[in-house]
Amino acid sequence: MARHFQLDQVLENIEQDRELLGEMVEIFLQTLPEQLSQLRDACQDKALDRVAGAAHSLKGSLLTLSADQGSKLAAHLEQAGRARDGATVAATLRELESELEALCLELRSLSLS
């Protein structure tokens, strides 16, 4: 199974605190729909400055979870927004959404007890 985040790395970063990891995952899963909604709305509105800001915020969340591929895609989306490259924004958003779907499935399948 492909790994969409690095469990060992995130646990190392938080001193093996599995309870904290559970809280982090819960918060991520609760806030992700709103973050994606903001990204989609900004993309639809062609508000590339908002795309860049929303992607930057999402990138931080993904880095916290050691979700390397997702954070790279969010960084690419942020850069495309800043460069006002609408075509790259749209393509990268689709790729990021696919990665986030896989990440969420993986996070939901974690056993943290």
Q: List alpha helices for the chain, DSSP H.
A: 7-13, 18-44, 48-64, 68-82, 86-108
> Which pTM value belongs to this model?
0.92
Query: Structural domains in the chain?
Result: 7-108 (1.20.120.160)
pLDDT in tens, 2-51: 589 999 999 999 999 999 999 999 999 999 999 999 999 999 999 999 99
pLDDT number for residue 112: 67
pLDDT number for residue 1: 47
pLDDT in tens, 68-83: 999 999 999 999 999 9
pLDDT in tens, 85-106: 999 999 999 999 999 999 999 9
